[in-house]
A and B are shown apart, each in its own frame.
Chain A
Amino acid sequence: MTDRPTSLPDRDISARLCEQVGEAHERHAPLRIVGGDTRAFYGRPVEADPLDVAEHRGIIHYDPVELIVTARAGTPLEDLEAALAEHHQMLSFEPPRFGPQSTLGGAVASGMAGPRRPWAGATRDLVLGSRVITQQGKLLRFGGEVMKNVAGYDMSRLMTGAQGTLGVLADVSFKVLPRPAAHCDLRLAMPLDEALSRLARLGRRPLPITAAAWYDGELLLRLEGGRSSVDATRQELGGETLEPGFWQALRDLRHDFFTLSPGQSLWRLSLPPNTAPLTLDDSHSDTLYDWAGCQRFVKTSLEDEAVRRACSAVGGHATCYTPAAQGGSDSPFTPLHPVVEKHHRRLKEQLDARGIFNPGRLYAAF
């Protein structure tokens, strides 16, 4: 039952990558780890020699019956997802693609997830294992191709979202899931307050909702699951059919909303469930609600401080998606609590003593 799609070339350059990392370590020379370079906007710029992972590509092992795929970090997301689609399977966390070059390594390193995240889990929830190139240029395996594994610490999940600051992801194993049998997208005209309270009520019931957004006077829903339950839910909720492609456009930040006016920056707010609209959702700002309100994109001319203060007041955090060079924040991620930060620095010292892996990408200090 093992399949390797023949259309995808398999190219293993891990030995070369290890050598490059080993040399950089020797010379104390920092590296900028690059896959498709489509996520450079996400995080602080790294001034260093590139370590090009894109050539390290291909699906190493795909077993649809085991629900597991292992692929090299440079594999284009598009290719990987196409291979899964042949078997009616998917990466359920819906990693955003910012172009055909977007790689799986970049997706895992950034840890971004699409509209299905609140229902299907985050990137790290579906990561089962990885092979990682460490500071000494060694290729090591953590986790693997089994659903459950609690031997040792969960290095693979730690690497997810660490943006390459702790090591180089060489390949990653994921749990994949069957594509839902039935699917239907809805739009319901509805003011924001009503949409948010409706979502809270719906969330307490076992309904086949797998995406929920609000923008410009409309609640937008995706239903996925068994045919019977999707039909029944659609009946109950009413509304009209949403044009196809909406969720992909939202996932990939291609929706019209994401066009900025001069002086605006794009922010992503991550907030606890049922957070009321923030006071910054005012004349300076325009907000699109995703993840049933837990993820909000805000176009705003407000200062960093104002955005962050509003988020932390309700237990959330804010990330600036507009690079500093284009007028965005020069510290895009929310500063860490001092004790948490201390442990981040210690981890970085342990796993990257010479600061060669994407230094300063997350925070200026490490």
Chain B
Amino acid sequence: MNIQYDEAIDGALAPFAKADVLSDLQHRIPTLRLLHREEDLRPFECDGLAAYRVLPMLVAMPDNLADVETLLARCHALGVPVVTRGAGTGLSGGALPLERGVLLVMSRFQEIIDIDPDARTARLQPGVRNLAISEAAAPYGLYYAPDPSSQIACSIGGNVAENAGGVHCLKYGLTVHNVVRVEVITIEGERMSLGAEALDAPGFDLLALFNGSEGMLGVITEITVRLLPLPEVAKVLMASFDDVEKAGEAVGDIIAAGIIPGGLEMMDRLAIQAAEDFVHAGYPLDASAILLCELDGVLADVDDDCATVRGVLEKAGATEIRQARDDAERAVFWSGRKNAFPAVGRLSPDYYCMDGTIPRRELPRVLNGIAEISRESGLRVANVFHAGDGNMHPLILFDANREGELELAEDVGGRILELCVNAGGSITGEHGVGREKINQMCSQFDADEITVFHALKAAFDPKTLLNPGKNIPTLARCAEFGAMHVHHNQLPHPELPRF
């Protein structure tokens, strides 16, 4: 329902013809690889949110920055929208093409330009895969901390555009905390450098603004990231609980004990069973929830912290606590969590991954609410959870081939997000708004706030040619679809029962 760009609500587009744009670009940028035949465009019709598919008008695959510059300047002149794509693993349809737009694919920019072990930085082209950074830094005893589960595939450019997170972000920060500089080309075809190799730069913090900007403000063409020394040691504890609420409370207790774990993740029964079936990580099948708690740092501290955390978990009512004996077993413990999405994917023809965040204290209430929605809708929901920082990933299981189930799954997803916003949280913690959550933005922000977002956008892209129809809804869209507006915890009709 959200999928196709709708000029009546998303904004009018300039009246250009595909053939004219194609010949203009071919003529002016002879070195640019351009795809325009349907069979060549097909592989680019969706990103990681495969339920949403649109065939792009054209696909551009540049391999040098001069071509990117000219391409953007031409599209600007012709009024042609541009959707930038990294590795296409995004889960919110951020790189979903436009029928009347150019898809700019940055995946040929694969070079690790430089690693400076003394400055602890790496300079990267945007198409470099997340995991490749840590692999290249390992010989120097360094690594790149943000580790999305998609790290073997996703690109650093896409990570910056989404402000991607990962298991280790509780302690080491999100992408925004680990990027020191980006090079950008604007839609007008101008280059600018944001941030600095120094620890700050003069003027406004445009670097922070570009993190999580979802390809709406400019095309990121180079990224300098901060590298960290590999911890001397990492240990992981796995605690089982017979009750989800107890597990949720244990999370708070660990933090309250003054410990910030390297990772603190939770999975519920359905997710545990799916993961166990898939990778045989040795997860307890009878548990209602497990917590995985990784402690890293200097050996002596880690041992102290393990003892403290063990005590906290026991007190919180864990039914079993196991500590990985060595790095190999640690990897096995994590394998279940890291493969949770594909594992759940085996339970059902399709699944739909949500990404709401909540204050941790709301966890029991929100989990109960999700269970209620699940029961009511008849769709199963598995919960995988960056528990330490309140980022939930409810996975809604459905079968797109059954009449109406995709719509039902979307409806369940929308209700879960409203539950998160209602609990003082956000509709997205790391996957972004993209096309998918465009209507839910109207729940989280009011018209004045959305107007400010449009103003920010206008400073970089006055003609709204970059990724139109994504991230920030038009007010017309909110008027049409954002009927229920939960703001500042005030429901429009508090007297009505919900869920």
Contact = CB atoms under 8 A, between A and B. Distances in A.
A315 to B, nearest CB: 5
Contacts of A121: 173, 177
A125 B217 CA distance: 21
A306 interface: no
Choose among B196, B202, B446, B459 the residue with the greatest number of A CB atoms under 10 Å from its CB. Answer: B202
Interface string A145-174: 111111111110110111000100000000
B358 interface: yes
A18 to B, nearest CB: 12
Given A147-B357, A204-B118, A153 B453 contact: yes
Given A140-B448, A154-B208, A200-B118, A148 B359 contact: no
Tell me whether chain A's interface is mostly helix, strand or loop, or mixed.
loop
B364 to A, nearest CB: 13
B392 to A, nearest CB: 10
A22 interface: no
B496 interface: no
Interface stretch (B36-44, B300-308, B342-350): B300-308
Interface in A207-239: 207-208, 225-229, 232
Given A228-B300, A336-B203, A148 B196 contact: no
Contacts of B141: 204-205
B209 interface: yes
A145 B359 contact: yes
Nearest to B251: A65
Contacts of B193: 337, 340
A349 B460 CA distance: 12
Contacts of B430: 148, 150
A319 B199 CA distance: 14
Nearest to A200: B118
Contacts of B170: 147
A66 B359 contact: yes
Interface in B195-220: 196-206, 208-209, 211-213, 217
Choose among B194, B200, B391, B431 the residue with the greatest number of A CB atoms under 10 Å from its CB. Answer: B200
Contacts of B169: 148
Interface string B291-324: 0000001101101110000000000000000000
Given A154-B208, A204-B117, A350-B459, A316 B198 contact: yes
B433 interface: yes
B439 interface: no
A153 B213 contact: yes
Given A63-B359, A121-B173, A134-B452, A151 B203 contact: no
Interface stretch (A23-31, A96-104, A265-273): A265-273
Interface string B372-395: 000000000000001001110000
Q: How large is the interface on B (under 10, 10 to 19, 20 to 34, 35 or more residues)?
A: 35 or more
A127 B270 CA distance: 35
A150 B192 contact: no
B449 A149 contact: no
B363 to A, nearest CB: 11
A141 B488 contact: yes
Given A125-B177, A203-B120, A272 B197 contact: yes
B120 A66 contact: no
A181 B176 contact: no
A26 B437 CA distance: 36
A325 interface: no
B256 A64 contact: yes
A177 to B, nearest CB: 7
A65 B361 contact: yes
B431 to A, nearest CB: 8
B425 interface: yes
Choose among A140, A144, A146, A228 the residue with the greatest number of B CB atoms under 10 Å from its CB. Answer: A146
B301 A229 contact: yes
Contact of A146 (B162, B191, B204, B426): B426
Given A66-B361, A148-B389, A148-B429, A270 B203 contact: no
Choose among A140, A151, A181, A200 the residue with the greatest number of B CB atoms under 10 Å from its CB. Answer: A151
A121 B228 CA distance: 13
A302 B242 CA distance: 70
Interface string A8-38: 0000000000000000000000000000000
B391 A147 contact: yes
Contacts of A200: 118
Given A63-B359, A204-B140, A274-B118, A153 B456 contact: yes
Given A64-B256, A141-B449, A157 B205 contact: yes
Interface string B217-239: 10000000000111110000000
A339 B256 contact: no
A67 interface: yes
Contacts of B5: none
B119 A149 contact: no
Given A148-B391, A154-B212, A351-B455, 5 more contacts: A152-B471, A153-B217, A204-B118, A226-B301, A339-B190
7 contacts: A1-B256, A150-B431, A152-B433, A179-B258, A200-B118, A226-B301, A347-B204
**Top 9 A-B residue pairs of the complex, sorted by shortest distance between their CB atoms:** A228-B300, A226-B301, A148-B429, A157-B208, A147-B389, A272-B197, A229-B298, A346-B459, A178-B258
